[in-house]
Structure 1
């Protein structure tokens, strides 16, 4: 089995390499990035070629490709990979809105992938854990509306932003300034900032619009009422989401907890009981990287009909929110040796 990774040297590309060793031991890797280089990962060295080599007539053919590039480069290379015979999973925003391309959160709607599908879009890193939590509850209680506030780690902005954040945090906290004076006002270190890139005339950023649109597409509910507020917080890895979810029928909290605790009903979810939220943190999800941590399910006191609940969802944005989901999608075509990575 020959597997191609574009964007192999980025944060998500590196995680994908690690997961491939679990899912398909012995697979042959063809790694590409912006230029020829060598990548050292977990004590092993890998040859990485410039992506432009894929445009050559003698470019290698293969079975499966993961694309972890920006939108511009995905548009350039995904069609070429399809020409070369690869089945492709694209992690950019390029194909998510295309009605002809499945947008898949493994464990929610991965059953729509069969042998006829050759290109799948990987959702945004906040959409995947949210829909994993919503899907089993929707089947039991119906789903009417979702309001969500996200607190997103810096690693979602890429390896350069993460490294700069770590350096700024080191330098800023050394000053022991209780008001955070040494930190940059618009920087990530020691700060919380709006995730406001691509804000359009609607007043919502591209990140917020992704969460709204993608949740509707994955759940096959185009009219679902969704509103989102997104911010970036001074955390390296791990996205945190608080949601207020309104269902069509009154919610029995014990039944909801039972559903989320059942792997058959809620795959890739770890339910944490208790209203206090013990075990629900960004650092906790980095210790359980391939599951959504879900808890703090409480009735919203404003809703006398008991159809609205508050819920917290946490997920590793590099793994569950990106690389792990992509690998699980691919297991619909190529069975995984690691059952924890096998999509239903």
Structure 2
């Protein structure tokens, strides 16, 4: 890992792009030239990174010349337009958008689960949806115990899932409520998020399920190589600034003793088991988004048998939380890039 790599970030000034910069520095990624690409209105902006000053450039096809690795943190349309150009110019791309995730020619990777899939990339690797990553990292060690056949998931997704605009909107609403002023007209979300829950993320996709809800099944099948995996998912936007939470019930082919499930989670890479209802402090009893923000582990707790399953030994329920911007997006992308170094 001593050789440096020329790295570009597409969408470098957004929430995920900014976090990618932080992760590259924190993980001591061997960056040679760093190229920050964004819209024309951001071009010329100067950003300090790891002891050097980098000027943001407008995202154009020719901006990828000479780059070894490109991290994509832009929207679907810009990703579709520009990232194939980066591949044509010799770069390997790790893209955070939805544009290529279900393309059979593109690996969809969570390093703790299917790192080996990086080997068959053709220049483009997809980073999964944030809720998918957060839910599957703790699901994987339990799958290895009993063989997951079905997931019932409810996600409680922070404002950060809508980017900087979503976080700013929630912040302004909280400020307005605190001063007695009416909340500004919502733009990032369907309705006021402060003091509220919004039980729809994404548009209708399949039999009343939204595009966000179907990602857990469709991406989960590809990542875990389980083409018959069945998932029932409900996604809810909650008034939390960052860090998504999920309630997950798993059904297995084989019985999974509760003690074995807890031991597997405690030993799993990328997971922190926080599961002690007798602990004095609430933060030591179970995961909460307040404490899981700005770090890279998926915290897991409330691990218990699914008492609704006719074969109680074949069902496990748990609660997990993880930072949507970090492990749910930027950190996972940088971890994939690290696999390319090997």
State the TM-score, normalizing by the size of structure 2: 0.89
Superposed displacement of residue 186, structure 1: 1.2
Q: Of 6, 20, 24, which residue of structure 2 is paired with 1:2?
A: 6
Residue 48 of structure 1 is matched in structure 2 by: 56
Q: CA deviation at 1:332?
A: 1.2
1:266-324 deviations in whole A, cap 9, x for unaligned? Answer: 2111111235772401111115x111111111112222422112111111000000001
Is the contact between residue 287 and residue 300 of structure 2 (CA under 8 Å) also seen in structure 1?
Answer: yes
1:5-44 equivalent positions in 2, closer than 5 A: 5-21=9-25, 22-35=27-40, 36-40=43-47
State how far apart, in whole Å, the 1-side matches of 2:165 and 2:226 are: 36
| Contact 1:150–1:241 (8 Å) recurs in 2 | yes
The aligned counterpart of 2:316 is: 309
Alignment partner, residue 67 of structure 2: 62
Per mean C-alpha deviation after superposition, the further-off stretch among 69-78 and 30-39 is 30-39
Matched, 1:295 2:301: yes
Q: CA 1:166/1:216 → structure 2, altered by over 3 Å: closer, same or farther?
A: same
Aligned equivalents of 1:275 and 1:202: distance in 2? 38
Aligned partner of residue 193 in structure 1, secondary structure: coil
Mapping for residues 224-303 of structure 1, pairs under 5 Å: 224-262=229-267, 266-275=268-277, 278-287=285-294, 289-303=295-309
**Corresponding residue for 1:213?**
218
Q: Are 1:115 and 1:333, in contact at CA under 8 Å, matched by a contact in 2?
A: no
**1:34–1:144 Cα change, 3 Å:** same
* Pairing partner for 1:193 from 195, 198, 215: 198
Task: Tell me whether 1:325 sits opposite 2:332 in the alignment.
Answer: yes
> Could you tell me how far apart the structure 1 residues matched to 2:208 and 2:266 are?
37
1:107 alignment partner, SS class: helix
Distance 1:278 1:63 in 2: 44
- Which has the larger displacement, 191-200 or 39-48? 39-48
For 1:291 and 1:27, the matched residues in 2 are separated by 28
TM-score, with length taken from structure 1? 0.88
Unpaired segments ≥5 residues, structure 1 = 336-344
CA shift, 1:24, in A, is 1.6
| Structure showing the higher helix proportion among its residues | 2
5+ unaligned residues in a row in structure 2: which ranges? 279-283
Secondary structure, aligned partner of 2:8: strand
Q: CA deviation at 1:240?
A: 0.2
Q: CA deviation at 1:30?
A: 0.3
Do the aligned partners of 1:126 and 1:239 also contact (CA within 8 Å) in 2? yes
User: What is the distance in 2 between the residues matched to 1:325 and 1:109?
Assistant: 12
Per-residue CA deviations over 1:97-122 (Å, capped at 9, x if unaligned) read: 10111111111001221276421100
